[in-house]
Amino acid sequence: MARIVMKFGGTSVADLDRIRNVAKRVKTEADTGNEVAVVVSAMAGVTNRLVGYCQSLSPLFDAREYDSVVATGEQVTSGLTAIALQELGQDARSWQGWQIAVETNGEHGKARIESIDGEELIERMKQGQVPVVAGFQGVGPDNRVTTLGRGGSDTSAVALAAALKADRCDIYTDVDGIYTTDPRIVPNARKLSKITYEEMLELASVGAKVLQTRSVELAMKERVRVQVLSSFADTPGTMVVDEEEVVEKEIVAGIAYSRDEAKITVRRVPDHPGIAAAVFVPLSDANINVDMIVQNVAADGTTDMTFTVGKTDMARALQVLDQAKPEIGFAEITSDQNVAKISVVGVGMRSHAGVAGTMFKTLAARGINIQAITTSEIKVSVLVGAEYTELAVRALHTAYGLDG
């Protein structure tokens, strides 16, 4: 007998037929004698619609009220899934974040889970009941509902698996595993049977939305065995594992892209000590994350600084910089939302040179201009025009020998 957390994403619970399908899968697992807890997302498209409502009423909406609106999607699917299970003769009960409780910090809209009390759920699972937990939500120190950031149900599932000391956390989605890149833009992407926590963490953090970054971080820390698999097919999925468990290490494990960033250039800033602080401290004070940074070589005592921020933060970043203009002393600011970040990731990069070189040559051969570059031990990222996203990802996928 095993204890398993099964998480179903938005497309897996998109309508009543799919919720019935989810209930069947859960019952099959419970019928084999396993203890099962379920985590569900909102129906596909629902969270986007709810976010849109908030934005339409107020561009700078109150984050507490945003949370109380967007958390409702998961409340609906947890109740419906419990009903569908009961209809199959399976004892089941829905749970909202505050009921368990899933305690988070107070950062509304992107809260982090601090603790989960698993006692009551474990008791009920032992008696054969299936808890159906609303993903994406928790309760903050202000006793108000919080949400965990987009894609946060993955994190709910991993955190619950850790709290319940589950043997496995199965993430059911609309693809049958983790691929060398997004299979929706590269049809001959290859499914991986295993991927290391570290590589998945890096891929998620640079845009592979198949798992929320925080969920991988948590799985790595709490040693949760995570599997990604399809809720529509019966094929084995991809296991996220320790590095020692991967026998054949590829130099490049995967390629990811993100269209979520915008580029800002601050032109002709005086090139003297403290200038980077003058630009970036006000941004961090305003809670704006900066990702890629490029500073040009100074000519005539001034220089240009280019960096990226999340698209949703761009308007605020421009406002903050404008207010700091007297301290910074720039000539002008330009911005561009029409960019994409393309990243190659692999633990093999630690011991193999030439990965970045291959990337630059491949993009050059397609006439794709690189606007910024960042690297880490196991990753190289470049910023290119958004219109080149598919072309760049496909060309790199072939260049690194990843085509299936």
Give me the residues that bind ligand ASP (CB under 6 A), please.
9-10, 41-42, 47, 73, 135-136, 150-154
Q: Name 78's Cβ contacts closer than 8 Å, sequence gap at least 6.
A: 40, 94, 95, 96, 132, 133, 134
Minimal distance, residue 138 CB to Mg ion, in Å: 17
Can you tell me which of 6, 10, 85, 304 binds ligand ADP, judged by CB under 6 A? 10
Tell me which residue has its CB nearest to ligand ADP: 9
For ligand ADP, the closer CB: 131 or 254: 254
Q: Is 210 in the site for ligand ADP (CB under 6 A)?
A: yes
Interacting positions 240-259 with ligand ADP (CB under 6 A): 254
Minimal distance, residue 175 CB to ligand ADP, in Å: 5
Residue 175 and residue 183 in contact, taking contact as beta carbons nearer than 8 Å: yes
For ligand ADP, the closer CB: 196 or 303: 196
CA distances from 255 to 160, 395, 400 (A): 29, 11, 10
Q: Which does 138 bind (CB under 5 to 8 A by kind): Mg ion, ligand ADP, ligand ASP, none?
A: none
Interacting positions 38-77 with ligand ADP (CB under 6 A): 41
Can you tell me which of 140, 151, 183, 207 binds Mg ion, judged by CB under 5 A? 151
For ligand ASP, the closer CB: 47 or 180: 47
Q: Is 207 in the site for Mg ion (CB under 5 A)?
A: no
Q: Which does 178 bind (CB under 5 to 8 A by kind): Mg ion, ligand ADP, ligand ASP, none?
A: ligand ADP
Q: Name 263's Cβ contacts closer than 8 Å, sequence gap at least 6.
A: 306, 307, 308, 335, 336, 337, 339, 371, 372, 383
CB-count burial class (<10 Å; 0-12, 13-18, 19+) for 401:
exposed
Half-sphere exposure of 100 (CA within 13 A, CB side): 34
x/- mask, ligand ADP, residues 168-187, rule CB under 6 A, reads -----xxx--xx-xxxx---
For ligand ADP, the closer CB: 44 or 290: 44
Name the H helices within 63-179.
63-70, 72-87, 97-100, 119-126, 153-163
Q: Name 25's Cβ contacts closer than 8 Å, sequence gap at least 6.
A: 6, 172, 231
